[in-house]
Amino acid sequence: MESILMAAKAFLEREFRKNPLPALRMAERYGFKELYKESSKLILERFQEYKRSQTFNQLSVTTRTALTTKYDEYTNALSKLSKVYFTTGYQHCKQCKSASEHDKEISEKFDRRVRQLQILPLPLPPTQPSVTRKILFEAIGNN
Q: Report yes or no: 75 and 122 within 8 Å, Cβ to Cβ.
A: yes
CA–CA dist 23, 93 (Å, integer): 44
Amino acid making up residue 124: L
What string of pLDDT tens digits covers the 143 residues of the chain? Answer: 688 888 888 888 888 899 999 999 999 999 999 999 999 999 999 998 999 999 999 999 999 999 999 998 887 777 666 555 555 555 556 666 555 556 666 667 777 776 666 555 555 567 778 877 777 666 555 44
End-of-domain residue from the set 37, 59, 79: 79
pLDDT at residue 117 in the model = 62
Same domain, 87 and 135: yes
Looking at 79, 98, 118, the residue that finishes a domain is 79
Provide the phi-psi class of 53: left if phi over 0, else alpha when psi is between -120 and 50, else beta.
beta
- The amino acid sitting at 111 is D
Shared domain for 65 and 87, answered yes or no, is no
Residue 18 has a pLDDT of: 92
Q: What is the pLDDT of residue 143?
A: 44
Number of domains the chain is built from: 2
Do 55 and 63 meet the contact criterion of CB atoms below 8 Å apart?
no
In the DSSP assignment, the letter for residue 127 is: P
Do 49 and 8 share a structural domain?
yes
Answer yes or no: do 41 and 93 share one domain.
no
**Considering just the CA atoms, what is the radius of gyration of the chain in Å?**
20
Q: Write the DSSP symbol of residue 122.
A: P
Is the whole-model pTM more than 0.85?
no
Query: Are 22 and 47 part of one and the same domain?
Result: yes
Same domain, 111 and 44: no
**Which pLDDT score is estimated for 119?**
55
Answer for the pair 78, 117: CB distance below 8 angstroms, yes or no: yes
What residues make up the domain containing 68?
A: 1-79
